[in-house]
Each structure stands twice: as C-alpha cells, then as structure tokens.
Amino acid sequence: MSPTALTIACIGFGEAASAFVAGWGPERAAHVRAYDIKTDSPDPAISAAKQADYARWGVTGCGTLAEALDGAAVVFSLVTADQVALAAAAAAPLLGRGALFLDCNSCAPGTKARSAAVIEAAGGRYVDVAVMAPVHPKLHKTPLLLSGPNVAEALDALGSLDMAAKVAEGPVGTASSIKMIRSIMMKGMEALFAECVLAGRRAGVDEVVLDSLDVTYPGFDFKAKAAYMLERSMTHGIRRAAEMREVAKTVENLGLPNGMAAATVEWQQRLGDLRLDAGDGDYRARADAVLAGMGETGMMGEASADYADIPGTFVFDAERSRQGYHLNMFCMSLRHAANREAFKADEQGYLNRFPMTEAQRAAVLGRQWNEMLRLGGNIYYTSKLAATDGVNFQQLAAKMTGVTEDAYRAMMLAGGRPITGNRSTKEWPNG
C-alpha cells in the first residue's frame, strides 16, 4: 500500500501520536487529521496548548471526532487508558466501512476485546496494537506488536509508513496481554526505585544502598537507573497509573492476586500528582524534589495547617486543590448539557474520562458529599453534580449536615451553628 494512498486520523494527540508524526515527516503529516478531547477543555490554556501541538507538528487539528475520521483509511487510537472504551464507542459509528482501527492503547485484554466488538459491528477492522517501548527516541520506528484477525492488512498499512510492527499470533488481546504483563515489571520497577531511593534519602543511606546493589547486580548502574526511573514517574506518573489500573485488571482476570500492580498504581499516581519538572539532575536532585513536594502537599500524612482540626470542615486550601483537581474538573464538566446526559447514561464510563483516585470515584458514585470534600472537592464544584441529580444547594447542605431540609433552614434562619464547641476538636471532651 502506498503511503500517499492512506488518509490517517489520530484520536488523541499526545506524546505517542506526535512522535509517530515526527517520524513520518512533514510531507506525511500534512495528510494527518487529529482530534483530542483537550481541545474541548473548559480551560482555555489547555485547549490552546493542544491547538499549538497540531500546528507544531503540521497536522490538521479537527474540532470534532467526526471531522477527523471522515474518509480515514487508517485510524490510530492513542488516548489515555481511562479513555480507551469511550474512544472506540465514539469512533465506531463514524468509521468508513473497512477502515483500520489501530488500538494502540495500554489497557487490559478484556477492554480491547469489548472495543473490538464495537468497532467490528460498525464495519471497521479492529487491530490490537501494543506499543512495546518508549516512543522516544525511535519515533515511528518504536516496536509494535499486533494481534487479531486483521493483522495482515495492518502490517501492509504500517509497512507503507515505515513502522516497525510484528505479529503476536492469537486473537485480539494477545498483544495487550504481553504489554500488560510486561508492565508489571517495567512500571513496577519504577515504583520500587521510588520507594527505595526516597527511603534511602530520608535515612541518609541512599548511596550505600545503591552501591551495595551494584555489587549484587554488577553492571546495572543503580544510580543511573534510579535517575531514569524517577524521571519516568515524575513526568508520566498519572498516565502510568491509569495503565497500571488496567494491568491490575488483567492480573485479576487471570485469577491471580494483583497486589504488586495495585501498589504500583499508588506510587505512580503519587509521583505524577506532584506535577514536578524532573529537570536534568541526578537521582539525588530528583529524589529531593519529590520529598519536598510530598511534604508540601501533605502526602507524608502530617497535618499541614492549624485549621486541620475544625470539626466537620475540610478547608479547600492549596493542598486540597491539588488533591482534588481531577474530581473538580469532572464536576465542572457537568455545566454542559451533553456531558450531563452522558454521565447519567453511564456514570462509571463517564468517570473513566477523568484520572481520579478510586476513593474519589467511589465517593462520586455513592454521592458521599462530605467525603468528596475530604478528598479535595470544592463545594462550588460538587454542587454541579448535585444539580445534575436535581438537588438544589439548600437540599445539598442539609444532606451534608445530616438533618432534614426544614431543620437546616430553621438552623440557618436562627443564625447557624453556635461557634462554641465547633471551632476545634480540642474543645470536645475527647478532642
């Protein structure tokens, strides 16, 4: 297949998509259309940054998914793990008959099998693609594994784009199984390095520990690996945490305990949430930056302010703002009618668009209003969720106070709660 005969669309235009386009070169990039949900962000800075990405790499940025997929012969799905099923479902009715849908995302085999069923039912040709290495520095030459019934056609198309693809014999999910199970080790090593090095720095024994490991495993160069592993998690931790949730599902679906994968999720999310610039320093500089960031955001489990003991109150300070960013972005998305309808139709599926913690997701699904605030929610944002349920602010406040609406109204008309006994838990007999 001649590359000039291909019309290519990218769903999602982040690191992987831009790396592929960079490898293809400007002539091919001019025939690539891209759509990324960040262009729909309510934050103008996020939307503008994505538009700048399109311009930087010379692709045609589209305002809608339908525009991007119109007439596309090959579609690369390159979204975050939490968006995989949503992307396939949205793309299916927009694909031309026979279009190749290359699902290059890091997710559980079961997720890919469900996406394949949706794509094939709509007349597309689904291919399970596993990206088997970081996309830098190899760009479009990054090794890919393909599985499923349409691998021959996919090999033809990818070959015309000078990409490095091989077949993993088996049904849809085979390539992803290899990628997911490999990630237990690869992303798990990053988490192990983080816990080991941070503990070593805190105890002042990091050099002794890493030197001793080099004696046990000669030639591994633990200090260099520590710097690299920390950079990966600091830079890509949020995305890696989403992938590792899919890894945990993979292990669980195989009937095995998934404690290592689940623990890796926590470390990757923790480092990613800090949103630190890893810089060009060695492992010491990166570890110290992480330790400082963890202390500033209260991740050490220490009370971060004098007002932390106000009874029944979760002050929305900088720490909680960082903690609740994705929860609040979900709530703010409900300003739009289309988003409210999508959420009401499939709450769990809609929540998958946002990389919240499992505790935050559970609080939303259970309408645990006070718990949402504890986990970083802002009342002016969470009230958007209440409004979606048809609950007004007064009714919401009554629920959060634990009284009836009439009792809450009467209390507020009488001046609200008395200050005595409600300023600090120290005022309580057992405070």
CB-based contacts of 148: which residues, under 8 Å, 6+ apart? 116, 126, 127, 128, 171, 172, 174, 175
The pLDDT assigned to 308 comes to 64
The sheet carrying 125-131 orders its strands as 60-61, 32-35, 8-11, 74-77, 100-103, 125-131, 144-147, 165-167
Q: How far apart are CA 389 and CA 51, in angstroms?
A: 34
Contact predicate 222/146, CB 8 Å: no
According to DSSP, residue 83 is labeled G
The pLDDT assigned to 4 comes to 44
Backbone angles phi, psi at 93, to 5 degrees: -70, -10
Q: How far apart are CA 114 and CA 128, in angstroms?
A: 11
pLDDT in tens, the chain (431 residues): 444 457 999 999 999 999 999 999 999 999 999 999 999 888 889 999 999 999 999 999 999 999 999 999 999 999 988 788 899 999 999 999 999 999 999 999 999 999 999 999 999 999 999 999 999 999 999 999 999 999 999 999 999 999 999 999 999 999 999 999 999 999 999 999 999 999 999 999 999 999 999 999 999 999 999 999 999 999 999 889 988 989 998 999 899 999 999 999 999 999 998 999 999 889 999 999 999 988 765 565 444 456 666 766 788 887 788 788 899 999 999 999 999 999 999 999 999 888 888 889 988 999 999 889 988 999 999 999 999 999 999 999 988 887 888 888 888 888 887 776 666 666 655 44
According to DSSP, residue 96 is labeled P
Catalogue all structural domains in the chain, each as residue range(s) with its CATH number.
3-172 (3.40.50.720), 184-296 (1.10.1040.10), 306-427 (1.10.700.10)
The pLDDT assigned to 302 comes to 42
According to DSSP, residue 39 is labeled G
H/E stretch holding 56 reads: helix 44-57
Backbone angles phi, psi at 166, to 5 degrees: -130, 160
- Give the other-Cβ count within 10 Å of 210's Cβ: 21
Say how many residues make up the chain.
431
* pTM metric for this prediction: 0.67
H/E stretch holding 150 reads: none
Q: How far apart are CA 382 and CA 375, in angstroms?
A: 11
